[in-house]
Chain A
Amino acid sequence: MSASDPKGNFKPQDAPRYDDVLQCMRCGFCLPTCPTYALTGRERSSPRGRVALARAVAEEKLEFTEAVKEEAFFCLDCRACTTACPSGVRAGEVMEICRSQAHAFYPLGKAGKAFREFILRKMLPSPELMETSMLPTRLYQRLGIQWLVRHSKVLKLAPEWMAKAEGMLPDLEKPLRTQLPEVVPARGEKRGRVAFFLGCVMTLMYPGVSRQTVRVLAHQGFDVVTPAQAKCCGAPHLSEGDRETARSLARFNIDLFLSHDVDAIVTDCAGCGAALKEYEEILEEIEDHDRLALFRSKIRDISEFLAEKGLRTEGMRQVKTTVTYHEPCHLCHAQGISSQPREILRRIPGVELREMSESSWCCGSAATWGLKYSEESRQVLERKLGNARQTGAEILVTANPGCQLQLAWGVRETGQKQEVLHLMELLGRAIPD
């Protein structure tokens, strides 16, 4: 522990860097963009307040109390505050780190530990296990949701979470991973070769979306390699505060993807993209910096990649429709990708983009947050749906499976007449067979 980076009352392992919390000058610019502050009007549930709490712990003015833990998990990790902060403070990330502190300070009971072992350490790191557990029954039964039922008290899930979790699941098809060829060749004039990072949620819950992503990439002139051994990106682990497993998954994926000779590593899941781009940071102290930088330089969200390469629209079909776009937090705030998806939307023949207000306001899904704080999540969702409704657009487009689950569930529940699609599904409709 160095004098310039005191950990104070934090555990030394995975503590927020003191300089990072000191960086906050408390200007409050982040307050109006924070969904949990908007909900509660409570300073400690705002980015400025959360950073101040972390600072107080580092300065030994406060123990790592239950309330600090509570704030770490109540934070949506939506990163809207990162976008809003002119000083470069990243309150969401500080809270993410505090989640792992929370586990160190408040070891999970037996049930909680078993949950961690089961889902985070056993299921998610192994694509095969997840698939077999899913088939033939629906995912949630084997993925431990029944088990969760028994332990929902321990995990402090909100009372209505079960009905919600069940209602949110889309109709499941066969996982995409087992069906996708290792290489899908480019169509038309070839522009390069990319690796596709197929995320867990995508392969299991939205195989149809990622199938379109691969089709789009091929149609745009890229050979698409999809390494079937790829493991979970580690986002759920970071979000639940299991940084150790996240690091080992990261190292595995880096080795795997750097063994392929590709121009870029593309993903269609904003959550995965954000996590992959964070590998550099979480492995900073244990991996070779050049390798990390090389890996980082190749990661692209699909919309970022297509906008960079220029979308080839010759021969595309007309998709006559009106759309509005919801920005996933992990795309716009975590990765700063905001104009690119719109650029793609505008270039799809026949599509009219109608901007909603507050397009970059969180939809309230945020990994398991939506299950833990279901009432708060409903309020955040209602705000989002209202803004989407006002545009009168036929289709509500987004670019992340978490948002898609939440929004699709929301429109179903409220009877809102809007189809919810991933950007790649819409683009896929324009691409001739």
Chain B
Amino acid sequence: MISKAAIAHLQEKLGEKNVYHEKEDLLVLGYDSTPGVHHLPEVVVYPTSTDEVIAAMEIARREGLAVTPRGSGTGLSGGSVPVKGGMVLCLTRMNRIVEVDEENLTATAEAGVVTLDLFNAVAAKGLFYPPDPGSQKISTLGGNVAENAGGLRGLKYGVTRDYVMALKGVLADLSVVSTGGKSVKDVAGYGFKDLLVGSEGTLGIVTEITVKLIPPPQAKRTILAYFGDVRTAGEAVSRIIAAKIIPSTMEIMDRATINCVEDYVKIGLPRHMAALLLIEVDGHPAPVAEEAEAVRRVLEQVGAAEIHVAENAGEAASLAAARRTALSALARVSPTTLLEDATVPRSRLAETFAEIERLADKYRLKVGTFGHAGDGNLHPTVLCDERNEDEMKRAHDFYFELYDQVLAWGGTVSGEHGIGMAKKEYLARQIGEGGVRVMKRIKRSFDPDGIFNPGKIFDEGDSSTRPHVEEGFRVSE
């Protein structure tokens, strides 16, 4: 429990308005977008510089508080939920874009910059930052780095890791690390940068990020294909890849998702269709035209029910925007939306859909599936009610069995949302006990006292780190 003196000290170092310790603030800073997980911190700080991060960390260390970094709290595996209370260190007020370097094609930004803001700032200079998670209009770069976030363009352009050139951060011993740089190549020692990317806030606090930029594609074609059944859509994806075409985007939505999204966006999506694929090819104008034609041919061959080409950039943008709302829109239907992040080799897509259908039937669940089909990354989402215990149990069994199959096919339990607190039990199944032991050793060498984001990624056999914790308010007077 935090002392009043410590709060006063934090206020002195960070300014009163950057330190929250009242119940109402703590209550709304102990969740992210993951259903069913919530835990109150004892204090929340909003540093505005790396120095203030160090100052806050110093007090946390002295007080013996765990420190959980937080961006915008859009994480989908409970990463920023402070399961052990302590301090939440929120980076959203470190939101300056430091530099856009047009000579080296890089941008440097503080960790709290919103993904879309960076995209727009570099676009204004004729450059392109591709990673675009569905949450881009509010997720932070720090959160993207910590989760190694993917996005709609991942298929052709890769994920956040592929763009991180340098990181600056604060480690558990309060030292500042700077790893990587603007040089295109760098093999000096171990790849710290690559360890920090995807570390989910368990190894250190990222304060500044330098990313690679590329020139934007000159032309783009957006194609929308409808299908009478989901498996055919899955097959279409596998075949497009097998035809050696790499679209920038290949996103799928099933009937349930189409209907929820249409309820919100009202742009005339086909409610009666079993699935749709949103496909985008981009690059130089001539190859784009050829690729679009090739995609159309494959779609015709597999028997897509309808094929449409977006008339203009505006229509294409509204289709992509519609896709981004999929998860939130699904939440319309039921009080609770449990989503998973199963990822399979792309040749297995059609079978995965069949398996999802079979299991949804078996466990009598309502499931909506969407995702980055081109990456083999699906988000089967159970639409349920957390108040219904039996249903929650069936949902759990559904995922458990689904992951058996996904792993058997050489897939992964998380394509992009991370392990956090929600998927710890699955991780051990995937990488084995030995794998988990190595990861724990890495964690310990960075953070011997375990102060950063405890209870995430692996279980430490401690009851306070169970996945579903709801706890009352606690702060000492």
Contact = CB atoms under 8 A, between A and B. Distances in A.
Interface of A: 4, 19, 22-29, 31-32, 41-44, 48-49, 52-53, 56, 61-62, 65, 67-68, 71, 85-88
Given A85-B328, A87-B329, A25 B24 contact: no
B259 to A, nearest CB: 13
Given A23-B335, A53-B27, A41 B92 contact: yes
Contacts of A41: 46, 92-93
B328 A31 contact: no
Contact of A86 (B35, B74, B325): B325
B28 interface: yes
B73 interface: yes
B387 to A, nearest CB: 8
B350 interface: no
B251 interface: no
B472 A25 contact: no
A19 B331 CA distance: 12
B137 A25 contact: no
A191 B473 CA distance: 63
A23 B24 contact: no
B72 A53 contact: no
Contacts of A85: 328
A41 B92 CA distance: 8
Given A41-B93, A61-B473, A29 B24 contact: no
Interface of B: 20, 22-25, 27-29, 31-33, 35, 46, 72-74, 92-93, 114, 135, 137-139, 261, 263-264, 325, 327-329, 331-332, 335-337, 387, 472-473
B138 A61 contact: no
B68 to A, nearest CB: 14
Given A28-B74, A28-B138, A62-B23, A88 B28 contact: no
A379 to B, nearest CB: 15
A86 B73 contact: no
A90 to B, nearest CB: 12
Contacts of A4: 387
A258 to B, nearest CB: 30
10 shortest A-B CB distances, which residue pairs?
A: A86-B328, A86-B325, A25-B331, A49-B28, A87-B331, A67-B24, A86-B329, A22-B335, A27-B328, A28-B138
Nearest to B28: A49
B396 to A, nearest CB: 19
Contacts of A29: 135, 137-138, 325, 328
A26 B73 contact: yes
Contact of A43 (B25, B335, B336): B25
Contacts of B23: 62, 65, 67
A22 to B, nearest CB: 4
Q: Which of A26, A42, A67, A71 has most chain B Cβ within 10 Å?
A: A26
Nearest to A50: B28
A87 to B, nearest CB: 4
Contacts of A61: 27, 472-473
B264 A88 contact: yes
A44 B28 contact: yes
A27 B27 contact: no
Nearest to B328: A86
Contact of B135 (A28, A71, A87): A28
B264 A26 contact: no
Contacts of B35: 25
B27 A25 contact: no
Q: Which of B20, B28, B46, B336 has most chain A Cβ within 10 Å?
A: B28
A49 B25 CA distance: 9
A41 B95 CA distance: 11
B264 A86 contact: yes
Contact of B137 (A19, A32, A42, A71): A32
A146 B331 CA distance: 49
Given A28-B73, A65-B24, A52 B31 contact: yes
Contacts of A49: 28
Nearest to B116: A32
A53 B335 contact: no
Contacts of A43: 25, 28-29, 73
Contacts of A44: 24-25, 27-28
A25 B46 contact: no
A67 B328 contact: no
Contacts of B93: 41
A185 to B, nearest CB: 38
